[in-house]
Structure 1
Amino acid sequence: MKEILKHNKLIVVVILVMTVFFAIQLPKVEIDNDIEVFLPDDHISKVTTEEIEDIFGENDGIVTAVRFKEGSIFDYHNISRIENITHDLENIKEVDEVTSLTNVDFIEGTAEGMLVENLVTELPRTDREKYQIKENILSWDFYRNNLYSDDFQSTQILITLNEGLSTEEENAAYYKVEEITEEYNARDLESYISGATAINVRMGDSMLEDIKYLIPFIVLVLILTLYIFFRKILPVILIMLNVSISSIWAVGLMAYLGVNLTLVSTVIPVLLIAVGSAYGIHILSHYYDYLAEYDGEIDQEKQEELVLKTVKQLGKPVFLAALTTAVGFGSLASSEIIPIRTFGIFTAIGISTAFIISLFLIPSLLILIFSYQKDTSKLDYQKIDYFESTILKLHKFYSNKRISIIITALIIVIVSIIGLPRIVIDTPLIEMFRENSQIRQADDFINQNFAGTTIMNVMIEGEDTGSLNHPQILKPMADMQNYMSSSFKEVGKMSSIADYIKRMNQVMHYPEEEIVEEETDSQEVDDGASFYNQSEEEDNDTGSFYQENNEADTGSFYEEENSSEADTGSFYEAETEPEEETPAREIIPGPDREQNLSEYEFMMLINRALARADRLDISADEMVRLLNQEMNYQAANYYEIPVDLEKYGAEREENLQNLISQYLLLYSGSLDDMINDDLEPDKAQILVQLNDPSTIVAGEVRETILNYADNNFPDGYETTVSGNAVMAQAANDLIVSSQTRSILISFIVVFLIVSYSFKSLIAGIYGIIPLAFALLINFALMGYTGIKLDVGTAMVASIAIGIGVDYTIHFLHSYHKERLKSDDLFLVTQNTLTSTGKAIIFNAISVAAGFMVLLFSNFYPLVYLGLLITVTMFSSSMAALTILPLMLNIFKPKFIQK
C-alpha cells in the first residue's frame, strides 16, 4: 500500500479522468417504466402479451375522461365540445385511432337489414334528437361505462397510439393530449387523463422531479451531519467527493451500457451518497483520532506514516464491510424482476467504487493537501468524542441488565414473527403515486365512474379456420362475461365479439312494425301506447299473457314476403337437401302499439318480468331490460348467441354457424381488436377492464377465468390470459421468490465471509444474528402497519443486510483486537464501543438521515423504503452494539480470543 500511495498524484488524475468520462455519459440516460421492463424477456406472461398484441393490437393507450358539471353529455353544447376534442386528438401524428361518443359505430336494424353507422350522425339540436341518441346508446349496453357514466355527466375518449413508438414519441403524444384537453377545461368542464401510457409518462416526470430535489436535499443533510461530527471542512469535502464520484461512475456506466433508468434505480444515487459515506467516515474518524493521540510535532513524513497506519489498520475491516455490502446488493442480481436486478448490480458497482476511492483517493488527497498546508498545529486534531459519554452510559446499563435485555430481545422476536403473516404483497403501479398527485386522482375518477383502467386480455384460440364463428364457443364466452361481471365487483366490463354477434342477431330480428316505426322519424309517437301484445309461443320462454291472436306473425328477414314456406336459403341451407322439411321458424313479434293493458294485465306484466330476474335487488335499468324481454321490444329476446335450433328453424349447428358468418359478412365496421379475421376467425379476444389496480385482484380474476374456461369451454379451444394486469401480477409473484432468494444468498455470503475472516464457522453465526434480528423487526413493521411488499420495499432486506453487516464486521474486528490485549471483558467491550462504536453510531445516523430524505419522494415505495431503512439502521446498529457484545461476553467464543 505504501508503494501505491507514493503515486498519489497519478491516482488523483486517473480517478478524475474516469469521473469526467462517466459524467459525460449521464445525459444519455433514458427512463423506462413500462410494466414490461419488470419481467425477463422469456417470461410467459410477457411473451403471451406480445403475441396477443401482435394479433389484435395494443389496448392500453391513453384514456381521457371528460366531466360536465352542467347538463348531460348529450346536450348540444357539451356533445359539440366532445366532437371538437375528438377531432383535435385525431390530428396528433402519434395517434392511430380515437374513439368517442361522437364517432363510435352503432349497429341498428332497418327494413333493408343491418345498418352500421356513427352513433351520432348529426349533433342534436332538439330534445327529441338528444333523446334519440340517448335511447340508441342505451339499447345496447356494449358502450356502458366506457362512453358514458351512469349519471350521464361524464364520457371517455379512448386514444390508441401508433405501434412501435419510442419512449420520446409516447411522451410527446401524452403531452399533446394533455395540452388539448387543458384548452377545453372550463368552469363547467373537467378532464382526466390516465391509462398505461399516461402512468408511464407521469412516473418518468416524477422520477426526474425526485432526482432534481432529493439529491441536493440528501447532499445538504449529509454535509450538515458530517460537519457536526468532524467539525472540520476537509473531511466533509473528502467524503462528499467520494460519494459523488461513486454515484457518477455507477449511473454513468448505466448510461454507457444503455441500461434504462427505472423507478427502482433512481434510488442508486441517494443510496450511494448515504451508504458510500461509511468507508470515508471510518477512515477519517480513525485518522483524526491517530493525529490527536500522537504526541509531538507532525511533519510531512509523520503525517504520511499516520495515513498509512490508518489504511493498514482499517484496510481489512473496510474491505470486508465493502465486500459484504456489495454482496448484499449484488444478491439482488438473482431477482427475476429486471429493475431490482439492475439496481442490485449497479449499486454493488457503486459500493465497490466508493471503497476504492476511500482506500486510494482519500489517503492520496490527505497526503497531497498536507504537503501544501502551512499550519499543522495540533489544535486542528482534537479527538472526536461526541458519543463517548452516551456509549459509556449505554455500556454500563446493559452490562448490568443482561437478563432483561435477553428477555426483551426474545419478546421482540416473538412479536415480529407473529406479524410476518400480515404482510401484503401487492404492486399496483398507480398506487405508487401519492393520493394528491394528478395521475392518481385521474385514475381514481375513471375507475369510480367507468369500467376501469387496468386491462386484461383473454385470447380464445380454436383449432380450425372459422372455429370462432361457432355458437358452441361464442355462447360460453358470453356466459363467462356475465359470470365474471356478477362474481367480481372489480370487473368493470368484459367485451368480445360475442357482444357484436348478440347485437347483430337482435337487430336482424327486429319485428316489421318496429322497423317501420324507426323509418318514420317525422311522425309523432303516442306516449300513451306503452304496453303491447305479443304472440305467445308454447315452447318459448318469451310467451306472454297478453296475446290476442293465437297465430304468430312470422314475417322476418328470413322469408320472402309472399312465400308460403320458410326459405332456409342463404343462412341455413345445407350442402345437400334435407330428407325432411325443416319446420318453419316462428319469429316472436314485438309489442303491438295499438293494444292497451288493464291494470291487472299491467301488474301481471311487472310480476312476470320480475320472475325473470336472478335476484330481487335489481336496478331500474335491469327492470327495463326484463320488461323488454317479456314483451320482446326491439327483439330483446334475440339479444343472444343463436344456439336454439328450433327457435331459429335450423336443422343442425352448422346452419347457425353459417348464420353467424353471414352476420360478420354484413358488418361493415372493423373488428380487428376482437377477432383475427373478419369472416373466418380462429382467434378471438375478450377485453377485461378492472376498476381496481390491485395485482391480488388481477390474480384472482385470471385464475377464475382460466377455471371457467376449463370447465365450460368445449374441447379444442385454448384460453390464454395476459395483458398489463397479468404482467403486474406476475411481477408481484416474483417478488416473493426474489426476496427469499436474495435474503438467503446474502446471509450465506455474509456467513462465509465472516467465517473465513475469523477462520471459524461460529464467527459466521455471530455475524448474521444481529442482521436477522433487524430484518425481523423490519418485516414485522410492514405487517403491523400495512406497508405492502412491492418493488420498492422488496429491496429493504438486501439493503439492510448490505449496510448492517458493516456494523457487525467493524465491531467484531475491533472487539477481537481489544480481546487480544486484555481478558477484562468489561474493559474490552468499553474500549471497543468508544473506538469503533462511535463510528458505527455516526454511520448509522448519517445513513438513516440520508434515507429519511426519501420520505419526501413522489412515490410511496420510495417513501416506505426510506422509512424502513431508517428503522433498520437503528435496529441493526443497536443489535451490533448490544446483542452482539452481550453474546460475546456470555458465551466467550474461542474465535474471538485467537
Structure 2
Amino acid sequence: MRPIDHIINRIEVTVFRHRVFVISLFLLMSLFLGYQATQIKLDASFTKNIPLNHEYMQTYLKHRANFGGANNVLISVCNQDDDIFNKEFFTALKGVHDQLFFIPGVERTQVNSLFSPSTRFIEVVEDGFAGGPVVPADFVADEEGLAIVKANIEKAGIVGRIVADNYSCAMVKAVLMENNPDTGEKLDVIALASKLENDIRKPYEKDGITVHIIGFSKMVGDIADGAKGVVTFFLIAIAITTVMVYLFSKSIALTLLPIACSLIAVVWQLGLLSTLGFGLDPMSILVPFLVFAIGVSHGVQMINTIGKKVSLGMKSKKAAKFAFRTLIVPGGIALLSDTVGFITLLSIDIGIIRELAIAASLGVGVIILTNLLLLPVLVSFINIPVKKVKPKSKSQMGFQQAQQEHLLWRFMQSFSDRKVASVVLVIAAILFGLGFHYSKQLKIGELHAGAPSLHEHSRYNQDTFLITDRYAISVDYMSVIVETNANACTNPEVLKTMDGFQWRMENIEGVQSTVSLPSVMKIINAGYYEGNLKWRIISPNQYALAQALSNVPSSTGLLNNDCSVMPVILFLQDHKAETINRVVDAAKIAIDDYNNDLVTFKLASGPVGVMAATNEAVEEAQTPMMLYVYGAVIILCWLSFKSIKAVVSVVVPLYIVSTLAQWLMTVLDIGLTVSTLPVIALGVGIGVDYGIYILSTMSQRLTAGDNIQQAYLAALKERGTAVLITGVTLAIGVSTWFFSDLKFQVDMGILLTFMFLVNMLAAVTILPAIAAFLWKNQK
C-alpha cells in the first residue's frame, strides 16, 4: 500500500468512527465563525488601490503634504436655469463650502472655492498692484455685491478652474486625509461618501440648483451601494444552483447537503477574514460567490460518487466512505491548486488584489474541510431512497434515458480517437493562434471615460462628464514633481528649465493644458508692464523674479514653503490607457533631456500619476502572476499523477482557454486593470478542477490496463455528468451578473461565464484529444 493510501485510510477510519464528534466540532466552529462573520464590514481605502512601493507613488507620498494627494473631492454646484450670479446660488455655494469644511477627514487647509480666502485676484492699478479675496469679507449677495464678485472672478483668472466656462457652475475642491482626525482611525471613505450625499447633495440640490460630486471616496461609495445588489445575485445563484443540483441528483437530501456545506464554507471564510482583522472591499465582494461556486463544484462530484454507489446497493455510510476515500486526493489536489493559484496574487504590489488573494485562498482552503470531509460525513447519516439497479442495467432506469446517456458518452468518447482528436487539436490550435495574436492587443488600464467600475449612465459618471464639459481643466491631471535647491524660485536657470519642460509637455497629444510656477510668474511679470505680452518672460533679474513670486503664496500648490519643490501640472483630456501611456512616455523622454545637477524631474503625483503607477504595476505583474499560477498547477498535478503526460493533458487546455479569455477582453474592449487581472488567475484556479477529476478516473483505468478510449469512457460515466452539470450551473449563476449596476461586475460576469463554460468544454474535448496521442492505444 502506498504511504498516501495508508494516510487516507487512517483519516477515513478516524473521521467516520467519530462522526458525531466531527459534526459537533464543525457546529461549534460554524457558530463561532458565523458570529465573527456578522462583524465584518465593508472596508475601502485609497491606498489599497495603489502600488505603494512603485517609484511614482514614493514621489506622491513624499510630497503629498505640500501639494495634496490624489484622493480629492470635487463638488460642482450648478444653476440649471441661469448663471451663478444670484442670491440663491451663492447661498447654496456657501452652504456646500461650509458643510464640506467641517466633515471629519477633510483637509480643511485645502478646501478651495470662491469663498476660500486663498482664492484671490490681482489687478494692475495706477499705483501698481491691488488685490484681495474674490469674495470680500463683507460680501452681500445683492446686485452690487454680485457685480463686484463677477469682476473679481474675471481678474483672478479662475474661469475654467473654480468657475465654469459659461458661468453656470462653481467648484468646491477638497483633499482628504488618510485618517479620521476625530478617531485617529483609518478614514472610512464609504461613510464619508454617505455624508457627501446626505449632508451636501440632498440639502442643497433644490430650486434649480444641482450638485455634482466626484472623487475616489464618492466613487467607492457608489460602488458600495451597487455592491449591495450582489446579495440579490447571490440568492438568485443559490436558487439556480439548487434547482440544477436537484435535477442532477433527484434527491432533496443530496441537493440540500452540498448547498449547505458550500454556504458553511462562505460563512467560515467571512468569519476568518473578520477574525484576522480584514474587511470586505466593495471590489472583492464577489469572492464569497466564487467560494460558493467552487464548493458546489466539488460537492456535486461528491454526491455523484455517493449516488452511483447507493444505486448499486451500497449503504449510505459505506458509499460516503468510498466517496471520501476516492475523492480526497483529486479533490484535495484541485482545491490546493486553486488555493496556491490564488496565493500567487500576493505577488502583486496592490493592496486590494492582495486582500482578494487572502479572501479567496481562505475560502477555497475551507472547502477542503466542508465539502470533502463534512459533506460525506453528513451524507453517511441519511438513508438515500434510491432503488437498487444492477450495473449497466437499463430496465429500471428506463431504456430511453439509458440510450440517450449511452449515445452522449459514445459521441464524447470519440474525442479520444486519434482521427477525431486530430481534428479537435487542429481546431484548438487555430483558435489558440488567433487568441494569442489578438491577446497581444490587450491594453493595460482603463479604456473608457469616467469611472470604469460604474456604468456610463450612472450618476457619478454623468457628474464627471458635466464637470469635464463645463470647466477648462480636466479632472484627470498629473503632477511632475521638480526637486531642486532651497530658494530656487528666484533662480532663472531653474525656472527656464521648468518652463522648457512645460512647453514640451503642453504640445503632447492628450495634454489639454498645463500650469506651473514659471507660467504664473510670467503672467505676473507682464502685469507690471501693463500686460504687454513681450514681458511674459522669465526675467534674468532675481529682484524681478522675487517681485513676481511675492504674489504667489504656497497655498496655490505651485511651490512648497522653502521653494525647493515645485510641480508641473498636466491636465489630460481623459484617463484612457493610451492617453496616459503617451503622456508618460513623452514625460520620461523629456525628463532625461531636462534633468541636470540643479533640477530633478520626478514622476508623478495626482490622479493620473496614480493610474500610471497602477497600470505599470499591473503590466509588470501580468506575466509573473501567470507563471506562478501555472507553476503551482503543474507542480500539484505532477505530485498527484506523477506523470508528465497528465500534466500536459491538464495544463494545455487551461492555457488555451486563458488565451481565448484575453482575446475576448480585446473584443469587448475590456482593459487589464486591478479588477480584471485577478479574474484570469481565478479562472485558471477554478478551471483546473474539471481536468483533474476527469484525469483521475482515466489514470486509474489506464493503470488497470484499459486503453485510452476505454479509460475516457469510464471517466465520462463516472464524472462526466457531474462535470457538465457543474460547468453549466456555475455559468448560469454568474451570467446573472450581466444585469448588475456595477460595470466591473458585468465584465467579471462575462469573463467568468466564458471561463466556466469553455474550461469545462476544453476538459471534455481537448484533454482527451491530447491524451489520445500521449498514451499508446493499447493495454
TM-score normalised by length of structure 1: 0.76
1:671 to 544, 551, 555: 555
1:498 to 482, 505, 518: 518
Q: Deviations over 1:859-884 (max 9, x none)?
A: 33332222122212222222221222
The one-letter code sitting in structure 1 at the alignment partner of 2:97 is: T
Aligned-pair CA distance for 1:274: 0.8
Q: Deviations over 1:386-423 (max 9, x none)?
A: 98256336326655744433332232222222212221
2:488 is equivalent to residue 467 of structure 1: yes
2:271 is equivalent to residue 252 of structure 1: yes
Q: Deviations over 1:356-383 (max 9, x none)?
A: 222221122122344xx9x78759x997
**Matched ranges for 1:294-313 at <5 A:** 294=313, 302-313=315-326
SS at match of 1:192: strand
CA distance in 2, matches of 1:479, 1:347: 50
Is the Cα–Cα contact under 8 Å of residues 332 and 742 in structure 1 kept in the other structure?
Answer: yes
The residue that corresponds to 2:635 in the other structure is 752
The one-letter code sitting in structure 1 at the alignment partner of 2:56 is: S
Aligned-pair CA distance for 1:48: 1.7
2:368 to 318, 343, 355: 355
Is the Cα–Cα contact under 8 Å of residues 292 and 383 in structure 1 kept in the other structure?
Answer: no
Q: Deviations over 1:753-798 (max 9, x none)?
A: 3233333223222221221222222122222332222223212332
2:236 is equivalent to residue 205 of structure 1: no
The residue that corresponds to 1:624 in the other structure is none
1:284 to 303, 306, 311: 303
Moved more, 257-266 or 193-202: 257-266
Structure 1 residues 176 and 283: CA distance shift in structure 2, 3 A: closer
The residue that corresponds to 1:71 in the other structure is 82
2:409 is equivalent to residue 392 of structure 1: yes
**Matched ranges for 1:655-694 at <5 A:** 656-665=541-550, 671=555, 673-677=557-561, 680-694=562-576
The residue that corresponds to 1:272 in the other structure is 291
The residue that corresponds to 1:589 in the other structure is none
Structure 1 residues 345 and 102: CA distance shift in structure 2, 3 A: closer
2:312 is equivalent to residue 293 of structure 1: yes
SS at match of 1:158: strand
Structure 1 residues 30 and 9: CA distance shift in structure 2, 3 A: same
Is the Cα–Cα contact under 8 Å of residues 459 and 721 in structure 1 kept in the other structure?
Answer: yes
The residue that corresponds to 1:412 in the other structure is 431
The residue that corresponds to 2:29 in the other structure is 18
CA distance in 2, matches of 1:93, 1:770: 53
Is the Cα–Cα contact under 8 Å of residues 473 and 713 in structure 1 kept in the other structure?
Answer: no
The residue that corresponds to 1:3 in the other structure is 14
Moved more, 345-354 or 826-835: 826-835
- Number of residues of Structure 1 aligned to a counterpart in Structure 2: 743
The one-letter code sitting in structure 2 at the alignment partner of 1:240 is: I
Q: Deviations over 1:313-336 (max 9, x none)?
A: 222222222222222222223223
The residue that corresponds to 2:656 in the other structure is 773
Aligned-pair CA distance for 1:809: 1.5
CA distance in 1, matches of 2:407, 2:490: 80
Q: Deviations over 1:821-879 (max 9, x none)?
A: 56465444323212211111112122222322332333333322221222122222222
The one-letter code sitting in structure 1 at the alignment partner of 2:372 is: L
SS at match of 2:480: strand
Q: Deviations over 1:558-597 (max 9, x none)?
A: xxxxxxxxxxxxxxxxxxxxxxxxxxxxxxxxxxxxxxxx
The residue that corresponds to 1:447 in the other structure is 468
CA distance in 1, matches of 2:251, 2:218: 48
Structure 1 residues 191 and 478: CA distance shift in structure 2, 3 A: farther
**Matched ranges for 1:875-894 at <5 A:** 875-893=758-776
Aligned-pair CA distance for 1:191: 1.9
SS at match of 2:452: helix
Moved more, 238-247 or 468-477: 468-477
CA distance in 1, matches of 2:641, 2:706: 19
**Matched ranges for 1:201-600 at <5 A:** 201-207=221-227, 209-294=228-313, 302-370=315-383, 388-389=405-406, 391-392=408-409, 394-395=411-412, 398=415, 399=417, 401-427=420-446, 430-450=451-471, 451-463=473-485, 465-489=486-510, 491-510=511-530
CA distance in 2, matches of 1:92, 1:821: 72
The residue that corresponds to 2:679 in the other structure is 796
Aligned-pair CA distance for 1:462: 1.1
Structure 1 unaligned segments of length 5 or more: list them.
511-633, 644-652
Is the Cα–Cα contact under 8 Å of residues 293 and 383 in structure 1 kept in the other structure?
Answer: no
The residue that corresponds to 2:124 in the other structure is 109
* Greater Cα radius of gyration, structure 1 or 2: 1
Is the Cα–Cα contact under 8 Å of residues 102 and 120 in structure 1 kept in the other structure?
Answer: yes
Structure 1 residues 787 and 61: CA distance shift in structure 2, 3 A: closer
SS at match of 1:430: coil
2:53 to 12, 35, 42: 42
Is the Cα–Cα contact under 8 Å of residues 790 and 861 in structure 1 kept in the other structure?
Answer: no
Moved more, 225-234 or 884-893: 884-893
CA distance in 2, matches of 1:507, 1:415: 62
Q: Deviations over 1:527-563 (max 9, x none)?
A: xxxxxxxxxxxxxxxxxxxxxxxxxxxxxxxxxxxxx
Structure 1 residues 396 and 160: CA distance shift in structure 2, 3 A: closer
Is the Cα–Cα contact under 8 Å of residues 489 and 495 in structure 2 kept in the other structure?
Answer: yes
Is the Cα–Cα contact under 8 Å of residues 345 and 353 in structure 2 kept in the other structure?
Answer: yes
Aligned-pair CA distance for 1:691: 4.0
The residue that corresponds to 2:64 in the other structure is 53
Aligned-pair CA distance for 1:282: 0.7
Is the Cα–Cα contact under 8 Å of residues 274 and 851 in structure 1 kept in the other structure?
Answer: no
Q: Deviations over 1:34-56 (max 9, x none)?
A: 44213454332222211111333
The residue that corresponds to 2:167 in the other structure is 152
CA distance in 2, matches of 1:156, 1:224: 53
2:689 is equivalent to residue 806 of structure 1: yes
The one-letter code sitting in structure 1 at the alignment partner of 2:324 is: V
Structure 1 residues 793 and 196: CA distance shift in structure 2, 3 A: closer
SS at match of 1:74: coil
Is the Cα–Cα contact under 8 Å of residues 243 and 272 in structure 1 kept in the other structure?
Answer: yes
Structure 2 unaligned segments of length 5 or more: list them.
1-11
Structure 1 residues 641 and 807: CA distance shift in structure 2, 3 A: same
CA distance in 2, matches of 1:162, 1:327: 36
CA distance in 2, matches of 1:132, 1:772: 68
Is the Cα–Cα contact under 8 Å of residues 227 and 233 in structure 1 kept in the other structure?
Answer: yes
SS at match of 1:487: coil
Structure 1 residues 482 and 80: CA distance shift in structure 2, 3 A: farther
2:604 is equivalent to residue 722 of structure 1: yes
TM-score normalised by length of structure 2: 0.87
Structure 1 residues 431 and 376: CA distance shift in structure 2, 3 A: closer
Is the Cα–Cα contact under 8 Å of residues 190 and 224 in structure 2 kept in the other structure?
Answer: no
Structure 1 residues 823 and 203: CA distance shift in structure 2, 3 A: closer
Q: CA RMSD in A?
A: 3.1
Aligned-pair CA distance for 1:25: 2.4
Is the Cα–Cα contact under 8 Å of residues 24 and 252 in structure 1 kept in the other structure?
Answer: yes
CA distance in 2, matches of 1:89, 1:336: 33
The one-letter code sitting in structure 2 at the alignment partner of 1:892 is: W
CA distance in 1, matches of 2:23, 2:611: 46
SS at match of 1:456: strand
Q: Deviations over 1:476-499 (max 9, x none)?
A: 43454444344334x344333334
